[in-house]
Structure 1
Amino acid sequence: MADLVTLSEAKLYLRVDGNAEDNTIALLIAAASDAVRDVASDWDGEGTVPDRLKLACLARVAVAFDERTNVSPGTGELPMLTPLRKLEV
């Protein structure tokens, strides 16, 4: 599946110039996109990515980028994703 944000969007959000960190950021984007999709399971992946999913993905990327040893979700991310979560009962 396609990533939820582009490398350019992530670099702008992270305030990163140059391309020395591009491979790392691309890896973080892929992992964050998968993690966000896991929570927002009610989004069908069709059409434009909802802004709340993009922001949640960027938040995960930022936490992972700034704290290289921390893979926990970004603060405030879950409330953005919960409305797009399908609950299985």
Structure 2
Amino acid sequence: MITHLIAAGVFSSTSEAAMTDLVTLNEAKLWLRVDGDDEDGTIALLIAAASDAVRDVATDWDGEGDAPDRLKLAVLARVAVAFDERTNVSPGTGELPMLTPLRKLEV
């Protein structure tokens, strides 16, 4: 489904966010053992989302220079889970960790 959205122009696999991704598309494809470019748009979207999620937690890293290996590994692990289990996520578990930091709490 994401691939169809990318093809329709809803998501871009080459967005400005790609400049701040913690791993490259090639690094992720090697990690996932994916050949060809059919899944590039989906993988790029997963990299961007995983990079944002890791950055939300790793607040002690200033973002300068190359990402530390442990941050890259965290992104690759998150991408792999999302890629492998994209149709096997229990409702309320897969999306909540990504959306919780964006919640607006009002008092």
Q: TM-score range by the shorter chain?
A: 0.7 to 0.9
Q: Which amino acid aligns with 1:46?
A: E
Separation in 1, partners of 2:66, 2:49:
19
Q: TM-score, normalization: structure 1?
A: 0.77
Q: Which residue of 2 aligns with 1:6?
A: 24
Identity, % of aligned pairs?
81
Structure 1: give runs of 5+ residues left out of the alignment. Answer: 74-89
- The one of the two structures with greater contact order (alpha-carbon pairs below 8 A, sep at least 6) is 1
Structure 2: give runs of 5+ residues left out of the alignment. Answer: 1-16, 98-107
Q: Which residue of 1 aligns with 2:35?
A: 17
RMSD: 1.5
Shift, 1:35, TM fit = 0.1
Q: Which residue of 2 aligns with 1:43?
A: 61
1:59 matched to 2:77 = yes
State how many pairs are aligned.
Answer: 73
Q: Which has the larger radius of gyration?
A: 2
Q: Which amino acid aligns with 2:59?
A: S
Deviations 1:33-81 (A, max 9, x none): 00000000110000111000000000000000000043377xxxxxxxx
Separation in 2, partners of 1:45, 1:62:
23
